[in-house]
Amino acid sequence: MKHKKLAKKTLFKGGTILDPAADKEFKGDVLVENGKIAAVGNIAVDSAEVIDCQGLVVTHGFCDLHVHFREPGREDKETLQTGSIAALAGGFTRVFAMPNTDPPIDSPESVRFIAEKAEACPIHIHPIGAATKGQLGKELTEISGMVQEGAMAFSDDGLPIMDGGVMRRVLEYGGMLDKPIINHAEDVCLRDDGVMNEGRMSTRLGLPGNPVVAEGVMVHRDLELAKLTGAKLHVPHISTASATELVAKMKKHYERISAEVSPHHLYFTDNDLHEFNTNLKVAPPIRSKTDRMELIKGFKTGVIDCIATDHAPHTIEDKESTFDLAEFGMIGLESCLGVVLKILVHEEGIDLMTVIKALTVNPRDVMGFNSNLFTDNAPVELTVFDPSETWEFTKDDIYSKSSNSPFIGKVLAGKVKYTVVKGQLTSV
Amino acid sequence: MSLQQKHLLGLEGYPAEDIQTIIDTAFTFREVLERPIKKVPSLQGKTIVNLFFENSTRTRISFELAQKRLSADTVNFSASTSSLKKGESFKDTVQNIEAMKIDACVMRHPAPGAPLRLTEYVDAVVINAGDGTHEHPTQAILDMTSLQEKFGYLNGLKVGIVGDISHSRVALSNMHGLITMGAEVTLCGPATLIPPHIKELGVQVNYNIDEVIEWADALNVLRIQMERMGVSLFPSIREYRSLFGITTERLTKHKKEIVIMHPGPMNRGVEIESAVADGDQAIILDQVLNGVASRMAILYLLLGGKAES
């Protein structure tokens, strides 16, 4: 991977322009001048650096609503800088960092720490603030103060807000400031000590199961509370058929709901855990084949709007232990496009535009960002990729500080070639 | 005579002919155990380490005795006295032991899947002596050896397994082994202690112990762990005893005399009445002796011991 400062004028020439904001696809060029979009169409220009995009797709920079960059506290796993490089490798120009750091991002001061450090990073990173102090699910954080410092949404991340009364107040207060609330949807009592999907495979392996209903009952409660309070609810990493169905039903009555799915939940099923592979230990767990198919269907029908990686770096030591003790989570930025294009486009026949919207326009809309990036003078956020190149994902493709990916050795389809953001051109 | 797999990690998918080979070999060693001098030189020069990351008395003694009877050199490692307490990782501990040139590891570990992990770190033969709530294949083999001894066959045999199925590696290994050998298995216990997806593994579930006794040729009665009571998996010992306890009163209601097994240690007066445990129907102490013989057979077959005259 190479990074360089963008030339004064750069012409991305002869590609297929996919403009997800305008819902348009056409052959053409994109001219970037002084780090901004200068023109989109058939462009003749002298003295520009030309990037040949023949056979490639040129689209908006990808946006990930769910990453863990581990700073502050676990800089041995990832930092805002190393996470940014992993994002660039995956075509991501804008990401939202979860607050489960050490200490957690639960005050205006800690939000400012992230926002200031993010300034110096090669991509746009926005903090998501903790919804409750210490992510303990009890007292509200200073949500307004955190918004002023740059927090874009609120979530206790992996710690579900179990107390329905507290969740209601978080939605009311966050709703007042028009910020989306994200709750890891798992009833922790039903989840208990579950480390994988409860089913035939967990029974075979003798591992404690996490039942499908643990997600369903929590999603149901959160949807009802969102409707009651009028707040914006974003359901993260949806993993089950039943939760997908609940979101679909509620969307008919109440529109301020969005949902994301992670690439690994689209790719794997719990049968893949048969050798206790700790890189497949994630929260929520990899579910059954039925759940996987319903997630794909939910994506196809627009119930699920966004693709988010839940990029969760862990050290070798954290994963090289027995399954019960290994940490939850996998990295996902670098492999995301190849995974989702392989499954959704090449195998399931979903059109490329729908998939790209879930990586660009839809997540930006959830967070209230400008999602119309191909307009004149918009600061450049652009990704160029080959939609059908098949390639084996290896350790060399990983730029994260950690390498806990179950995709190593898998053949993926679709590969990022260039990522352009903050005046810099990255050739992947 | 040898087995198809290098290790013995579990009975799921383990070949029927290999289970039969182990059982047949176990009977040979049973004869050895009846001799005045119970030691054979089969594994002379082989080094076996018993890695016990979890407390165990009977399984460890059974393995140790089996190893000594085969003339192997043995080393014992137990977590309570080990460097694990000093924060050393599982990987480092086992690689250290492997570096000392050993031929086999017998491991008991609280984590499901730990023996599979171990095979990634060491070249030695790995024998699972119980991995958490996953498998306990040598226990299941000794149970099947005992059943074969008693009935003369396994194919078509009806075996009930009673008790805490959810937390039982003994139940899971027995299910896999018995089904592979053509036996039928019915599980019985409180609904809270039977995994919801267990039927998908090819067994029946019946909550009525009297019906299971009526149906079965043999019952394997599992230990009820008292600590499960506190987390409301079952309400009280009194209620457990009245619903699932194996008593003389219950057994004599049926004309057919069935065989009673228990992997130990028993809670007398809870899951099994003393009169039953000590009665004629019980083969609990035969299981213990067959445990040594079965483990001798497994070690002998996996470590390629020389044929003994």
| Predicted confidence (pLDDT) per residue in B16-58, tens digit | 999 999 999 999 999 999 999 999 999 999 999 999 998 888 9
B73 exposure class (CB count in 10 Å sphere: 0-12, 13-18, 19+): middle
Instruction: Please report how the helices A289-300 and A241-251 are oriented relative to each other, as an axis angle in degrees rounded to 10.
Output: 30
Are B60 and B79 in contact by the 8 Å Cβ rule? The answer is no
Do B277 and B298 lie in one domain? The reply is no
Between CA B90 and CA B84 the distance in angstroms is 7
Query: B9, B134, B136: best mutation site toward chain A, by most A Cβ within 10 Å?
Result: B134
Q: Which residues of B touch A (CB under 8 A)?
A: 12, 89-91, 109-114, 116-117, 131-135, 169, 172, 195-198, 200-201
**Is A310 annotated as catalytic?**
yes
Other CB atoms within 10 Å distance of the CB of residue B197: 15
Are A426 and A1 in contact by the 8 Å Cβ rule? The answer is yes
Give the model's pLDDT for residue B81. Answer: 57
Give the model's pLDDT for residue B233. Answer: 85
Are A313 and A70 in contact by the 8 Å Cβ rule? The answer is yes
Do B36 and B73 lie in one domain? The reply is yes
Contacts of A86 (CB under 8 A, 6+ apart): A78, A311, A331, A333, A334, A398, A399, A400
Between CA A419 and CA A426 the distance in angstroms is 5
Mean confidence (pLDDT) of chain B: 92
In A, minimum Cα distance to B202 occurs at A200
Are B69 and B38 in contact by the 8 Å Cβ rule? The answer is yes
In B, minimum Cα distance to A273 occurs at B113
Do B270 and B295 lie in one domain? The reply is no
Which residues are bridge partners to B308 per DSSP?
A: none
Are B33 and B297 in contact by the 8 Å Cβ rule? The answer is no
Look at strands A9-19 and A154-155 and give their pairing: unpaired
Which residues are bridge partners to B221 per DSSP?
A: B162
Q: Which amino acid is at B44?
A: Q
Closest Cα in chain A, distance from residue B197 (Å): 5
Residues in chain B: 309
Give the model's pLDDT for residue B85. Answer: 55
Backbone angles phi and psi of B35, in degrees to 5: -75, 160
> A317 and B89 in contact by Cβ < 8 A?
yes
> A275 and B116 in contact by Cβ < 8 A?
yes
Burial string for B176-185 (b: 16+ CB within 10 Å, else e) reads: bbbbbbebbb
Are A161 and A135 in contact by the 8 Å Cβ rule? The answer is no
Between CA B154 and CA A23 the distance in angstroms is 67
For the cut 90, the answer to whether the pLDDT of residue B247 exceeds it is yes
Residues of B in contact with A206 (CB under 8 A): 112, 131-135, 169, 172
Closest Cα in chain B, distance from residue A330 (Å): 19
State the Cα angle at B233 between B229 and B236, rounded to 5°: 45
Asked whether the whole model's pTM tops 0.90, one would answer yes
Closest Cα in chain B, distance from residue A324 (Å): 6
Structure token pair of residue A335 = 């492999």
For residue B97, being part of any structural domain is answered with yes
Q: Which amino acid is at A21?
A: A
Domain that holds residue B59: 16-135+291-302
Q: Which amino acid is at A249?
A: K
Mean confidence (pLDDT) of chain A: 97
Q: Which amino acid is at A106?
A: D
DSSP string computed for chain B: ---SSS-B--STT--HHHHHHHHHHHHHHHHHHHSSS----TTTT-EEEEEESS--SHHHHHHHHHHHHTT-EEEEEEGGGSGGGGT--HHHHHHHHHHTT-SEEEEEESSTTHHHHHHHH-SSEEEEEEETTS--HHHHHHHHHHHHHHHS--TT-EEEEES--TT-HHHHHHHHHHHHTT-EEEEES-GGGS-TTGGGGT-EE-S-HHHHHHH-SEEEEPPPPGGGGGGTSSS-HHHHHHHH-B-HHHHHTSSS--EEE--S---BTTTB-HHHHTSTTB-HHHHHHHHHHHHHHHHHHHTTPPP--
Do B144 and B258 lie in one domain? The reply is yes
* pLDDT band per the 50, 70, 90 thresholds, residue B248: very high
Other CB atoms within 10 Å distance of the CB of residue A147: 19
For residue B3, being part of any structural domain is answered with no
Give the model's pLDDT for residue B96. Answer: 85
Give the model's pLDDT for residue B67. Answer: 97
Closest to B156 measured CA to CA, from B178, B186, B176, B173: B178
Residues of A in contact with B91 (CB under 8 A): 320-321
For the cut 60, the answer to whether the pLDDT of residue B210 exceeds it is yes
HEC profile of chain A = CEEEECCCEEEEEEEEEEECCCCEEEEEEEEEECCEEEEEECCCCCCCEEEECCCCEEEECEEEEEECCCCCCCCCCCCHHHHHHHHHHCCEEEEEECCCCCCCCCCHHHHHHHHHHHHCCCCEEEECECCEHHHCCCCECCHHHHHHHCCCCEECCCCCCCCHHHHHHHHHHHHHCCCCEECCCCCHHHHCCCCEECCHHHHHHCCCEECHHHHHHHHHHHHHHHHHHCCCEEECCCCCHHHHHHHHHHHCCCCCEEEEECHHHHHCCHHHHCCCCHHHCCCCCCCCHHHHHHHHHHHHCCCCCEECCCECCCCHHHHCCCCCCCCCCECCCCCHHHHHHHHHHHHCCCCHHHHHHCCCHHHHHHCCCCCCCCCCCCECEEEEEEEEEEEECCHHHCCCCCCCCCCCCCEEEEEEEEEEECCEEEEC
Topology (CATH level 3) of domain A61-366: TIM Barrel (3.20.20)
Q: Which amino acid is at A187?
A: D
Do B257 and B150 lie in one domain? The reply is yes
Q: pLDDT tens-digit profile of B91-145?
A: 888 888 888 889 999 999 999 999 999 999 899 999 999 999 999 999 999 999 9
Closest to B146 measured CA to CA, from B294, B302, B299, B300: B294
For chain B, the domain total comes to 2
Give the model's pLDDT for residue B228. Answer: 64
For residue B308, being part of any structural domain is answered with no
| ipTM confidence score | 0.91
| CATH 2.30.40.10 residue spans of chain A | 2-58+377-427
Percentage of chain A modeled with pLDDT above 70: 100
Structure token pair of residue B185 = 């298995």
In A, minimum Cα distance to B133 occurs at A206
Active-site position among A64, A106, A291, A310: A310
State the Cα angle at A396 between A391 and A401, rounded to 5°: 130
Closest Cα in chain A, distance from residue B121 (Å): 11
Do B169 and B260 lie in one domain? The reply is yes
For residue B108, being part of any structural domain is answered with yes
* pLDDT band per the 50, 70, 90 thresholds, residue B298: very high
Are A181 and A232 in contact by the 8 Å Cβ rule? The answer is yes
Do B216 and B95 lie in one domain? The reply is no
Q: What is the CATH classification number for the domain harbouring B66? A: 3.40.50.1370
Other CB atoms within 10 Å distance of the CB of residue A378: 15
Closest to A30 measured CA to CA, from A375, A364, A417, A387: A375
For residue B309, being part of any structural domain is answered with no
Query: B200, B203, B233: best mutation site toward chain A, by most A Cβ within 10 Å?
Result: B200
Between CA A349 and CA B126 the distance in angstroms is 46
For residue B242, being part of any structural domain is answered with yes
C-alpha separations of B5 from A391, B1, B19, B66, B298 in Å:
34, 13, 11, 21, 12
Do B57 and B187 lie in one domain? The reply is no
Give the model's pLDDT for residue B80. Answer: 66
Q: Which amino acid is at B274?
A: S
Q: Which amino acid is at A286?
A: I
Give the model's pLDDT for residue B307. Answer: 46
* pLDDT band per the 50, 70, 90 thresholds, residue B1: low
Q: Which amino acid is at A313?
A: P
Total CB pairs under 8 A between chain A and B: 62
For residue B2, being part of any structural domain is answered with no
Do B92 and B225 lie in one domain? The reply is no
Do B177 and B265 lie in one domain? The reply is yes
A131 exposure class (CB count in 10 Å sphere: 0-12, 13-18, 19+): buried
Backbone angles phi and psi of A417, in degrees to 5: -110, -45
Give the model's pLDDT for residue B309. Answer: 37
Report, in angstroms and rounded to the nearest whole number, the Rg of chain B calculated over CA atoms.
19
Q: Which residues of chain A have pLDDT under 70?
A: none
Other CB atoms within 10 Å distance of the CB of residue B34: 10
Between CA A35 and CA A231 the distance in angstroms is 36
Percentage of chain B modeled with pLDDT above 90: 81
Do B141 and B267 lie in one domain? The reply is yes
Closest to A185 measured CA to CA, from A97, A263, A110, A257: A257
For the cut 80, the answer to whether the pLDDT of residue B71 exceeds it is yes
Residues of B in contact with A200 (CB under 8 A): 197, 200-201
Give the model's pLDDT for residue B226. Answer: 75
C-alpha separations of A136 from A166, A188, B278 in Å:
11, 13, 54
Are A53 and A15 in contact by the 8 Å Cβ rule? The answer is yes
For residue B112, being part of any structural domain is answered with yes
CATH of domain A2-58+377-427: 2.30.40.10
| CATH 3.20.20.140 residue spans of chain A | 61-366
Do B92 and B209 lie in one domain? The reply is no
Residue bearing tokens 């676990």? A74
